[in-house]
Structures are given as structure tokens and as C-alpha cells.
A and B are shown apart, each in its own frame.
Chain A
Amino acid sequence: MKSKITRPESLKNVETHYCAGCGHGIVHRLIAEVVDELGIRERVVGVAPVGCAVLAYDYFNFDVSEAAHGRAPAVATGMKRARPDLIVFAYQGDGDLAAIGTAEIIHAANRGEGITVIFVNNGVYGMTGGQMAPTTMIGQKTETSPRGRIAESEGNPIRVAELLTQFDGVKFVERCTVSKPHNVLKARAAIKAALQIQVEGKGFGFVEILSPCPTYWGLQPRVAMKMIDERMTEVFPLGRYKNVYAQAAAR
């Protein structure tokens, strides 16, 4: 009996434009694996963000639309309402989701739209050159916070997973990371659970994934992964924040 790990069918066999050690590639592969596993490739639609993952439609082997900056949940809402039979997910970075798209994500979540949002949080604006994002940690140096982020003048990092957990319309929230193999498998399980909830027509699912940006953190990929485990998870604690269906089953 032979078993084989190969590239998932839902991921095109092309080279990505991502930097070496970027977490986007891992998250793309996880989504593609889950789509294959759930057998939804013919009816899944992704909505790509503005940011590093703007070219995601070149990499996924299923339908992907591009949305204006931050508006992926709004575009996904429209798709899902027009075609409830489709499985629609928004794929967003932290500059896209937590800064310019804050209104869209909060209201889509509060309305409890039947979509899934995958949020890749690396704490910087990667596409535009490593500027400070709302999720940049206190003391973290970026192009626009060269002395490190200061709470008094730039505010504290936004914890989106915790923010969305409070809404009744939200059914599933988990924060995970891709820092180590076992964390990657957990992230995969979270993406699968969130998409499964949508397949069953049960509502809004949200998965935040802490991801490295070796280029703009100025670290080697392996050191960047270590920094996620040592520093980033202190600010953004990992875990399943909400799963109303698991709670209902436990009662």
C-alpha cells in the first residue's frame, strides 16, 4: 500500500510570487486541500483581497474574484445572497481586513452572512513595503514605525478574532498559525471546520491565521516562525474562540 502527499488539485501547478518563507503559500495549500477534501471545487468561489494575496486567483484552480480594498466580505455577501448554492470565502490580509475593510468585516459578521472569512495576519502591509498595520505589535519596527509601535501615539493592535466572537451572527471563530507542522495541521482543521459550517448552511465562520512576513520583519523564515511562537502568540492568543455548534452538542 502506497500513500503519497502531493500538491492538491485545487492549487494550480504554477510558481507563486510570494517571498521565500511567506505564510500565504502554506495557507493557499491548506485551503486547496480542504476544498479537495470536501469535494466542493466546482461550486466554491474565493474572493481575493488587495494586498500580497491579490494574485490568489492565479494560484487557485477554482473561481476567484478580486474585490476592492477591504471589500471582500461585501463582495462575498453579494455572491452568497445571489447564489446560495455557492460556497463563498473571502481571503484577506490584515491591512485589507483590519484597516480599510473594518466596516465590511464587522457588518458582514454582525449580519451573520453565510460566508467564510480566512484572515491572514502578519502584522505589516507586505505589498506596499512593510508599513505599520492595525495588527502591528507594540514595539514592532516597521517602515512607518522605525522606533517600534508606540501605544500612546499609534494605538494598540486590534484583535480581530476576539472582536468578532461577540457577535451573535458569528458561528465559528478560531485563531491559529502556520509556525510549525502541528500548528499547520490545526490551521487546516480550522479552515475545514469553518467551510464545513458553510457547506451545511449554518452561518458565518472566521479563521485568523498568524503568518510570517520574513521580508518586512527583516528575519530569516525560520527565525520569523520562531517569533510567531515566542512573541506574536502572546499578543494574539491561539485557540478556538467560538463554535456554537460544538457548544450546542456539549449541552
Chain B
Amino acid sequence: MAKVIIDTRRCKGCELCVDACPQGVIAMSKSLNDKGVHFAQPARLEDCTGCGLCAIMCPEAIIEVEREEAQGQGPPGPAHRGSGARS
């Protein structure tokens, strides 16, 4: 199971994470946040693989990605460093 957590209050609505997601998990909200922009939110979380591409592109660094690593399987990118799962 993977999880994307976005601090939507600080989202500026650039939509780079929406483009980065290969699974189309992230969508822009219909409502506005306090900045008055449509913010990114994880709309189809069940499809998230935890690849972290959204977090890699986010200029505000407000996206957190969690995922379960299968035993002995290395994480895909350097952003996952320090997880201790690299074999």
C-alpha cells in the first residue's frame, strides 16, 4: 500500500505533480485553498504505487509519499535513500 500526503494549504497549484504521476492519482480540487488556488489532492489513492515522482517534482516540497517495500526489493530512486531497504 502506498500513500501520498499533500499539505494542500501550501499548494500553489502549479500542477507539476499532476503531470508527473504516471497513474493519474493526483487531481486538482474544485474548491480553493486559503491562497485562492485550486490545490492538488490525491484523488485515486488506490492506484498509487508510491513511486514518488510527484514529490520529486513538487517545488514546494509539500508532498510526502509512503510505501511498503517488498522484502529484498530496492527502492526505485535516490529520493528513497535511507530507508535501509536497498539491497
Residues of chain A lying within 8 A (CB to CB) of residue B52: 5
Query: Which one of B10, B56, B78, B83 contacts A4 once the chains associate, using CB atoms below 8 Å?
Result: B83
Residues of chain A with a CB closer than 8 A to B10's CB:
15
Given contacts A4-B65, A221-B14, contact A184 B71 (CB under 8 A): no
Most buried by B among A37, A181, A214, A225: A181
B69→A2 contact, CB < 8 A: yes
- B15 proximal to A (CB < 8 A): yes
Size range of the chain A interface in the assembly: 35 or more
Partner of A1, one of B55, B81, B85: B85
Across-interface contacts of B27 in A (CB, < 8 A)? none
Q: Is the CB–CB distance between A7 and B61 below 8 Å?
A: yes
Q: Indicate the size class of the contact surface on chain B.
A: 35 or more
User: Cβ of A188: which chain B residues have Cβ within 8 Å of it?
Assistant: 78
Bound complex: CA of A25 vs CA of B55, how far in Å?
12
What residue in chain A is nearest B64 (Cβ atoms)? A6
Q: Does A127 contact B (CB under 8 A)?
A: no
Q: How far is the CB of A155 from chain B (nearest CB, A)?
A: 31
* B-side contacts of A225, CB under 8 Å: 16, 19
Report whether A4 and B66 are in contact in the complex, using a CB–CB cutoff of 8 Å: yes
Q: Are A11 and B67 in contact (CB under 8 A)?
A: no
Give the Cβ gap from A59 to chain B, nearest Cβ, in Å. 10
Is B57 within 8 A of A20, CB to CB? no
Contact with B along A9-39 (1 / 0, CB 8 A): 0010001101111111110110001000100
With CB as the reference atom, state the residue of chain A lying closest to B55.
A5
A100 interface contact, C-beta 8 A: no
Q: Please indicate the chain B residues that have their CB under 8 angstroms from the CB of A184 in the complex.
A: 56-57
Task: A214 to B82: give the CA distance in the assembly, Å.
Answer: 34
A3 and B14 form a contact (CB under 8 A): no
Show the binding face of A for B, using Cβ within 8 Å.
Answer: 1-8, 11, 15-16, 18-26, 28-29, 33, 37, 180-181, 184-185, 188-189, 214, 220-222, 225
Question: Apart from A4-B66, A26-B58, what are 19 other A-B pairs with CB-CB below 8 Å?
Answer: A1-B69, A1-B71, A2-B83, A4-B83, A5-B52, A5-B64, A5-B80, A15-B60, A20-B13, A20-B14, A20-B59, A21-B14, A21-B15, A22-B59, A24-B59, A25-B58, A185-B56, A185-B78, A220-B15
